[in-house]
Structure 1
Amino acid sequence: MLATLPAFSSFSVLDIDEAAHFYGDVLGLSTSVARGMLTLTLGSGAHVLVYPKPHHEPASHTVLMFPTDDIVTTVEWARSRGVVFEMLDGVGDDGIMPANEWGPANAWFRDPSGNWLSIVGEPASDPVEGS
Protein backbone atom coordinates (compact mmCIF):
# COMPACT_ATOMS: atom_id res chain seq x y z
CA MET A 1 0.00 0.00 0.00
CA LEU A 2 2.70 2.53 0.91
CA ALA A 3 4.48 1.94 -2.40
CA THR A 4 1.61 3.65 -4.23
CA LEU A 5 1.51 6.75 -2.01
CA PRO A 6 3.27 9.96 -3.14
CA ALA A 7 5.91 9.96 -0.39
CA PHE A 8 8.27 12.88 0.12
CA SER A 9 11.30 13.70 2.21
CA SER A 10 11.76 16.59 4.64
CA PHE A 11 14.34 18.31 6.77
CA SER A 12 14.48 21.32 9.06
CA VAL A 13 16.16 24.73 8.84
CA LEU A 14 16.44 27.74 11.11
CA ASP A 15 14.90 30.29 8.75
CA ILE A 16 12.53 29.61 5.84
CA ASP A 17 13.21 32.93 4.05
CA GLU A 18 16.97 32.32 4.17
CA ALA A 19 16.45 28.74 2.94
CA ALA A 20 14.13 29.90 0.14
CA HIS A 21 16.80 32.34 -1.04
CA PHE A 22 19.57 29.71 -0.92
CA TYR A 23 17.67 26.86 -2.56
CA GLY A 24 15.84 29.06 -5.08
CA ASP A 25 18.15 31.95 -5.93
CA VAL A 26 21.56 30.35 -5.33
CA LEU A 27 20.97 26.70 -6.28
CA GLY A 28 18.26 27.47 -8.84
CA LEU A 29 15.64 25.01 -7.60
CA SER A 30 11.96 25.64 -8.05
CA THR A 31 10.58 26.68 -4.65
CA SER A 32 7.30 27.67 -3.09
CA VAL A 33 6.36 28.78 0.41
CA ALA A 34 3.01 27.94 1.97
CA ARG A 35 1.91 27.81 5.61
CA GLY A 36 5.40 28.85 6.72
CA MET A 37 7.09 25.89 5.02
CA LEU A 38 9.23 25.69 1.90
CA THR A 39 8.72 23.10 -0.83
CA LEU A 40 11.60 22.30 -3.15
CA THR A 41 10.81 20.76 -6.52
CA LEU A 42 13.74 18.68 -7.72
CA GLY A 43 14.75 17.99 -11.32
CA SER A 44 13.16 14.55 -11.02
CA GLY A 45 9.82 16.15 -10.16
CA ALA A 46 10.05 14.93 -6.56
CA HIS A 47 9.26 17.33 -3.74
CA VAL A 48 11.11 17.96 -0.50
CA LEU A 49 9.45 19.75 2.41
CA VAL A 50 11.69 22.15 4.35
CA TYR A 51 10.23 23.25 7.66
CA PRO A 52 11.34 25.75 10.29
CA LYS A 53 12.56 24.47 13.64
CA PRO A 54 13.43 27.05 16.31
CA HIS A 55 16.10 24.89 17.94
CA HIS A 56 17.32 23.38 14.66
CA GLU A 57 20.49 21.33 14.76
CA PRO A 58 22.07 20.52 11.39
CA ALA A 59 21.76 16.94 10.23
CA SER A 60 25.01 14.99 10.64
CA HIS A 61 24.32 13.19 7.35
CA THR A 62 23.77 14.37 3.78
CA VAL A 63 20.11 15.42 3.42
CA LEU A 64 20.05 16.16 -0.31
CA MET A 65 22.23 14.90 -3.17
CA PHE A 66 22.45 16.27 -6.69
CA PRO A 67 23.68 13.59 -9.14
CA THR A 68 25.49 14.75 -12.27
CA ASP A 69 27.48 13.19 -15.08
CA ASP A 70 29.89 16.16 -15.00
CA ILE A 71 30.82 16.86 -11.39
CA VAL A 72 33.66 19.26 -12.26
CA THR A 73 31.42 21.57 -14.31
CA THR A 74 28.58 21.33 -11.78
CA VAL A 75 30.89 22.20 -8.87
CA GLU A 76 32.35 25.13 -10.83
CA TRP A 77 28.82 26.39 -11.59
CA ALA A 78 27.79 26.12 -7.92
CA ARG A 79 30.99 27.84 -6.77
CA SER A 80 30.30 30.70 -9.23
CA ARG A 81 26.97 31.20 -7.45
CA GLY A 82 28.62 31.48 -4.02
CA VAL A 83 28.49 27.87 -2.81
CA VAL A 84 31.44 27.04 -0.55
CA PHE A 85 32.58 23.42 -0.61
CA GLU A 86 33.80 21.56 2.47
CA MET A 87 37.48 20.63 2.38
CA LEU A 88 37.28 17.23 4.09
CA ASP A 89 40.05 14.62 4.24
CA GLY A 90 40.57 13.17 0.78
CA VAL A 91 38.97 16.10 -1.03
CA GLY A 92 41.08 17.70 -3.76
CA ASP A 93 41.81 21.39 -4.17
CA ASP A 94 38.80 21.53 -6.51
CA GLY A 95 36.49 20.54 -3.62
CA ILE A 96 35.82 17.08 -5.06
CA MET A 97 36.45 13.73 -3.39
CA PRO A 98 37.43 11.41 -6.26
CA ALA A 99 35.45 8.24 -6.92
CA ASN A 100 36.92 5.21 -5.19
CA GLU A 101 36.02 1.64 -4.28
CA TRP A 102 33.46 2.92 -1.74
CA GLY A 103 31.50 5.15 -4.04
CA PRO A 104 31.21 7.93 -6.59
CA ALA A 105 32.95 11.30 -6.62
CA ASN A 106 31.37 13.78 -4.19
CA ALA A 107 31.58 17.46 -3.36
CA TRP A 108 29.94 18.41 -0.07
CA PHE A 109 28.58 21.78 0.99
CA ARG A 110 26.15 23.13 3.57
CA ASP A 111 22.98 25.17 3.43
CA PRO A 112 22.68 28.33 5.59
CA SER A 113 21.33 26.20 8.47
CA GLY A 114 24.33 23.86 8.35
CA ASN A 115 22.62 20.87 6.68
CA TRP A 116 24.91 18.74 4.50
CA LEU A 117 24.28 18.64 0.74
CA SER A 118 26.38 17.10 -2.02
CA ILE A 119 26.97 17.01 -5.72
CA VAL A 120 27.52 13.39 -6.71
CA GLY A 121 29.46 12.31 -9.80
CA GLU A 122 29.52 9.06 -11.71
CA PRO A 123 30.11 6.00 -9.52
CA ALA A 124 33.54 4.40 -9.43
CA SER A 125 33.99 1.32 -11.61
CA ASP A 126 33.55 -1.98 -9.84
CA PRO A 127 36.91 -3.39 -8.81
CA VAL A 128 38.05 -6.27 -10.98
CA GLU A 129 38.10 -9.48 -8.99
CA GLY A 130 41.46 -11.11 -8.58
CA SER A 131 43.53 -8.06 -9.43
Structure 2
Amino acid sequence: MLADRKLKAFIPTVDAERAKHFYKDIIGLKLLSEQKYFLDFNAHGSLLRIISVETFTPQPFTVLGWVVDDIFATIEELNTRGVFCEKYEFFEQDDLGVWISPAGFKVAWFKDPDGNLLSINEDVSS
Protein backbone atom coordinates (compact mmCIF):
# COMPACT_ATOMS: atom_id res chain seq x y z
CA MET A 1 0.00 0.00 0.00
CA LEU A 2 2.70 2.55 0.96
CA ALA A 3 5.73 0.81 -0.55
CA ASP A 4 5.60 2.95 -3.69
CA ARG A 5 5.09 6.26 -1.86
CA LYS A 6 7.74 8.82 -0.92
CA LEU A 7 8.80 8.98 2.69
CA LYS A 8 8.23 12.12 4.75
CA ALA A 9 10.26 12.41 7.96
CA PHE A 10 9.64 14.77 10.89
CA ILE A 11 12.12 16.31 13.34
CA PRO A 12 11.17 18.73 16.14
CA THR A 13 12.97 21.99 16.90
CA VAL A 14 12.55 24.71 19.50
CA ASP A 15 14.58 27.15 17.38
CA ALA A 16 13.67 27.14 13.69
CA GLU A 17 16.41 29.59 12.65
CA ARG A 18 19.11 27.51 14.31
CA ALA A 19 17.66 24.31 12.78
CA LYS A 20 17.48 25.95 9.34
CA HIS A 21 21.16 26.90 9.55
CA PHE A 22 22.15 23.38 10.65
CA TYR A 23 20.17 21.39 8.09
CA LYS A 24 20.76 23.82 5.20
CA ASP A 25 24.26 25.20 5.76
CA ILE A 26 25.95 22.47 7.81
CA ILE A 27 24.31 19.27 6.54
CA GLY A 28 23.70 20.70 3.06
CA LEU A 29 20.04 19.87 2.51
CA LYS A 30 18.07 22.02 0.09
CA LEU A 31 15.45 24.21 1.78
CA LEU A 32 12.19 23.80 -0.13
CA SER A 33 9.78 25.80 1.99
CA GLU A 34 9.82 27.95 5.08
CA GLN A 35 6.49 28.34 6.84
CA LYS A 36 5.48 29.75 10.22
CA TYR A 37 5.45 26.35 11.94
CA PHE A 38 7.79 24.22 9.82
CA LEU A 39 10.69 24.03 7.38
CA ASP A 40 10.72 21.54 4.49
CA PHE A 41 13.97 20.15 3.12
CA ASN A 42 14.76 17.84 0.23
CA ALA A 43 16.65 14.87 1.67
CA HIS A 44 17.70 13.11 -1.56
CA GLY A 45 14.12 12.78 -2.78
CA SER A 46 12.50 12.36 0.63
CA LEU A 47 10.87 15.26 2.42
CA LEU A 48 12.30 16.20 5.80
CA ARG A 49 9.98 18.47 7.75
CA ILE A 50 11.44 20.33 10.73
CA ILE A 51 8.51 21.19 12.98
CA SER A 52 8.59 24.10 15.42
CA VAL A 53 7.55 23.10 18.92
CA GLU A 54 7.59 25.02 22.17
CA THR A 55 9.34 22.30 24.14
CA PHE A 56 10.40 18.68 23.79
CA THR A 57 12.88 16.19 25.18
CA PRO A 58 15.23 14.61 22.63
CA GLN A 59 14.99 10.84 22.38
CA PRO A 60 18.00 8.73 23.43
CA PHE A 61 17.94 6.81 20.14
CA THR A 62 18.62 7.64 16.49
CA VAL A 63 15.73 9.52 14.89
CA LEU A 64 17.21 10.03 11.42
CA GLY A 65 20.18 8.69 9.51
CA TRP A 66 21.98 8.68 6.19
CA VAL A 67 23.84 5.98 4.29
CA VAL A 68 27.18 7.35 3.08
CA ASP A 69 29.87 5.98 0.77
CA ASP A 70 32.82 6.92 3.00
CA ILE A 71 32.04 7.41 6.67
CA PHE A 72 35.51 8.72 7.50
CA ALA A 73 35.44 11.41 4.79
CA THR A 74 31.92 12.38 5.87
CA ILE A 75 32.99 12.73 9.51
CA GLU A 76 36.01 14.79 8.53
CA GLU A 77 33.74 17.12 6.55
CA LEU A 78 31.29 17.36 9.46
CA ASN A 79 34.20 18.15 11.79
CA THR A 80 35.31 21.04 9.56
CA ARG A 81 31.76 22.39 9.95
CA GLY A 82 31.87 22.13 13.74
CA VAL A 83 29.90 18.88 14.09
CA PHE A 84 31.52 16.06 16.06
CA CYS A 85 30.38 12.51 16.64
CA GLU A 86 29.12 11.20 19.93
CA LYS A 87 31.18 8.69 21.89
CA TYR A 88 29.53 6.06 24.04
CA GLU A 89 30.85 3.92 26.88
CA PHE A 90 28.90 0.86 25.72
CA PHE A 91 30.37 0.77 22.17
CA GLU A 92 33.93 0.28 21.06
CA GLN A 93 34.45 3.30 18.81
CA ASP A 94 37.52 4.75 17.14
CA ASP A 95 38.82 8.29 17.72
CA LEU A 96 36.30 9.74 15.23
CA GLY A 97 33.37 7.98 16.94
CA VAL A 98 32.91 5.16 14.40
CA TRP A 99 31.54 1.87 15.69
CA ILE A 100 31.87 -1.25 13.54
CA SER A 101 28.96 -3.62 14.06
CA PRO A 102 29.43 -7.40 14.19
CA ALA A 103 28.07 -7.49 10.61
CA GLY A 104 30.73 -4.98 9.50
CA PHE A 105 28.56 -1.86 9.17
CA LYS A 106 30.30 1.36 10.16
CA VAL A 107 28.07 3.72 12.16
CA ALA A 108 28.60 7.08 13.86
CA TRP A 109 26.18 9.41 15.63
CA PHE A 110 25.96 13.17 16.02
CA LYS A 111 23.35 15.59 17.29
CA ASP A 112 21.55 18.50 15.73
CA PRO A 113 21.28 21.77 17.71
CA ASP A 114 18.14 20.51 19.48
CA GLY A 115 19.81 17.29 20.62
CA ASN A 116 18.10 15.03 18.07
CA LEU A 117 20.37 12.03 17.54
CA LEU A 118 21.33 11.56 13.88
CA SER A 119 23.51 8.90 12.31
CA ILE A 120 25.66 8.12 9.33
CA ASN A 121 26.18 4.56 8.19
CA GLU A 122 28.58 3.02 5.72
CA ASP A 123 26.98 -0.18 4.55
CA VAL A 124 29.37 -3.06 3.77
CA SER A 125 27.05 -4.24 1.01
CA SER A 126 27.22 -0.96 -0.90
TM-score (norm 1): 0.82
Matches of 2:74 and 2:2 in 1, distance apart? 34
What stretches of structure 2 of length at least 5 have no aligned partner?
none
Matches of 2:36 and 2:14 in 1, distance apart? 16
Change (3 A) 1:92 1:41: same
More strand by share: 2
Q: Does 1:107 align with 2:94?
A: no
What stretches of structure 1 of length at least 5 have no aligned partner?
125-131
Give the corresponding residue for 2:43: 42
Give 1:15 deviation, angstroms.
1.0
How many residues are treated as equivalent by the alignment? 122
Q: Does 1:33 align with 2:39?
A: no
Matches of 1:6 and 1:100 in 2, distance apart? 29
Percent of aligned pairs sharing the same letter: 33
Matches of 1:100 and 1:84 in 2, distance apart? 20
TM-score (norm 2): 0.85
CA RMSD of aligned residues (A): 1.8
> Which 4+ stretches in 1 moved above 3 angstroms?
1-7
Give the corresponding residue for 2:10: 10
**Greater CA radius of gyration, 1 or 2?**
1
